[in-house]
Amino acid sequence: MFYREAGQFKASYQADQQIFPIIQDRVGIAIVIALAALVIPVIANEYWLKAILVPVLIFSLAAIGLNILTGYAGQLSLGSAAFMAVGAFGAYNFMLRIDGMPFLVALVLGGLAAAAVGVLFGLPSLRIKGFYLAVATLAAQFFIVWALVKFPWFSNYSSSGVITAQDIVILGYTFDGPVAKYLLTLAIVVVLALMAKNLVRTSTGRAWMAVRDMDVAAEVIGIRPMRTKLIAFAVSSFYCGVAGGLYAFTYLGTVEPEGFNLDLSFRILFMIIIGGVGSIMGSFLGAAFIVLLPIFLDNVIPHLFGNLFSASFASNLQLIVFGGLIIFFLIVEPHGLARLWQIGKEKLRLWPFPH
């Protein structure tokens, strides 16, 4: 009843080609964005803005990046965190070494640097498939972090190897408060997410999916696998790179290469698996889930069992429950949170009279 496409006729090609062809989606997205941009800054306190919402948005962007590669183009990667590192260190160096470099341009250039590195490490994907490729992307993960530590030029010869992000100034306005940083992150993430949503239904996106489903078949119908896969690596790494730039500039402020470790790559992979492989919205849901779950457990478990167990056991219990919930979730809903939303939509279509 609430979610019915029937009766929505498209009278022009333009109307037929919108990103969200159904009015409920359009209204829904508009409401969500309006809530996020107008209401949340008013009601959320500093803790929520700084420690929860900004990282969720940034990880959503990284998850979209990985989802493009893994979910749409079918290439498994374990090196997302390293591409984030390239974006972060890239943006920092562009800001540092070029006078008057605007922040947004530096962010995009950082993303492009990540895309270039991504293409380089994507080259083997032409020959290698599946887990062989996944393990091969670990080469990117370890090599990039090693290089960032080893060559002090990247961190401007700081003795500790960390970089401190410069102030964000756009058109003379300095983004320094939590609200300003949140809104900036939100704006960039929304724009890029909409672009991704659009991209995956263009011919490029369809080519990715064809390659994902069967690359030999795709080749037979005239899709060039090399070009398609490398574009996927480039776009994916670009998204991860921009996410890395935001991670450094609007979230942590100071980053070290070792922060972009394998564990972070795994977390991003978790986000797309839990959220839903091949779904842009799933990337947001997955990121929120993976960021919030450990924090939720850390808040709940010591209070529930604080007196029962020692502090060490309570901490380990968090890890056990985290791992257990992930397994449970994969068993119950292997297609991720996005799938739950889809089921919900089906239900809403018929509600309140399901047959």
Q: Whole-angstrom distance between the N-terminal and C-terminal Cα of the chain? A: 12
* Cα 27 to Cα 30, 34, 40, 83, distances in angstroms: 5, 10, 18, 34
Residue selected from 40, 44, 119, 143 as contacting other proteins according to rule CB under 8 A: 143
Token pair 């890890």 is found at 319
- How far is 242 from 87, CA to CA, in rounded Å? 6
- How far is 93 from 96, CA to CA, in rounded Å? 5
Measured from the CB atom, is 97 or 150 closer to other proteins?
150
CB of 71 to other proteins, least distance (A): 10
DSSP reduced 3-state for 255: strand
Q: Interface with other proteins includes 227 (CB under 8 A)?
A: no
Measured from the CB atom, is 57 or 112 closer to other proteins?
57
Residue selected from 21, 28, 324, 344 as contacting other proteins according to rule CB under 8 A: 324
What residues numbered 66-125 form the site for other proteins, per CB under 8 A?
Answer: 70, 76, 124
CB 237 within 8 A of CB 299: no
- How far is 126 from 73, CA to CA, in rounded Å? 12
- How far is 170 from 214, CA to CA, in rounded Å? 45
Residue selected from 4, 33, 119, 256 as contacting other proteins according to rule CB under 8 A: 256
CB 351 within 8 A of CB 344: no
Q: Interface with other proteins includes 322 (CB under 8 A)?
A: yes
Q: Interface with other proteins includes 41 (CB under 8 A)?
A: no
Residue selected from 302, 339, 342, 349 as contacting other proteins according to rule CB under 8 A: 302
Residue selected from 55, 110, 205, 286 as contacting other proteins according to rule CB under 8 A: 55
# binding residues, other proteins (CB under 8 A): 77
Q: Interface with other proteins includes 313 (CB under 8 A)?
A: yes
Q: Interface with other proteins includes 25 (CB under 8 A)?
A: no
Measured from the CB atom, is 189 or 317 closer to other proteins?
317
The encoded tokens of residue 138 equal: 């670990």
Name 311's Cβ contacts closer than 8 Å, sequence gap at least 6. 302
Residue selected from 1, 14, 99, 160 as contacting other proteins according to rule CB under 8 A: 160
